[in-house]
Amino acid sequence: MRLRCAVLDDFQNVATEVADWSPLADDVEVVPFTTHIPDEDALAAALADFDIVVTLRERVPFPASLIARLPRLKLLIASGMRNSVIDYAAAEAHGVTVCGTASSSTPPVELTWALLLGLARGIVQESNALRGGGPWQSTVGADLHGRRLGLLGLGKIGSRVAQVGLAFGMRVSAWSQNLTKEYADEVGVHLAGSKEELLADSDFVSVHLALSDRTRGLLGAPELALLKPTAYLVNTSRAAIVDQNALLTALHEGRIAGAGVDVFDIEPLPADHPMRTAPRLLATPHLGYVSQANYATYYGQAVENIQAYLAGAPVRRLP
């Protein structure tokens, strides 16, 4: 009897198209789930008859309580080589092998700039006005050249965002708790003296930090109050780094010029979530990693992981 493999959160219904799953045809039945399963009870019921689960990024938690309710589960594959919502100890205790895949930093870099440029030039507002018979030129765009781009985080993604900013002629600063002047100099950016200095001086602020106990809530109401009223904030990292209520207040009260957000405290966003209707907000449904090349890698390597597991030699094991 063939094993059963669930592919979670395949919203675009492309998982079986962007990669070749045919090598598994004799051994594995692949079942995509095109809608999100929101709670543990529903997940336990939906996945009860599956031996393999492919999960997308960190959208679906796999705590010990869920793993214990999936007695058939033997292989769990996460896209990317880092996943903070899987209980690895519980997986090991229940005999579940956990594997990951490669993930490119290029798509989130590109989306960061799509959001930043969209905000700066009022792209959505102007496009909607043009297509809807509205006013001809209703906004005055914010310039990038000569303006200060402040980066919270200068890792693999942040450093590449910095290079684009420099190419636009921006003055780029960066700060994080572990960032050194030597590395900032190597990237070619200014090391801000403090988080507060970076926020107060920047015309555009972009978040590129990993979520941890140190970064959770890093930008709350006091920090957002340091931003210029003409400043823009972009977050393509993790929602919990920025206090969502404080951000909503700043947007509604016009304390900042706008925000570009790709990550949210609840995903997918409920229909009545206040982020859907906030003013001065350019929002996208967590598209940072969503690209043809990344999906081909995720699902292509998921196939490889399954083949290796069936051969008794798992690859790309996590953590």
Residues that are catalytic: 238, 267, 286
Tell me how far apart the alpha carbons of residues 220 and 216 are, in angstroms, rounded to a whole number.
Answer: 10
Residue 151: name the closest of 183, 173, 120 by CA: 173
For 154, residues 6+ apart whose C-beta sits below 8 A from its C-beta are 162, 174, 176, 179, 183, 184, 187, 189, 208
Residue 239 to residue 262: CA distance in whole angstroms = 8
Q: How far apart are CA 226 and CA 199, in angstroms?
A: 6
Nearest to 239 by CA among 214, 270, 218: 218
Q: Quick one: CA dihedral 290, 86, 161, 121, positive or negative? A: positive
Q: Which of 274, 271, 273 is nearest to 249 (CA)?
A: 274
Q: Are 73 and 100 in contact (CB under 8 A)?
A: no
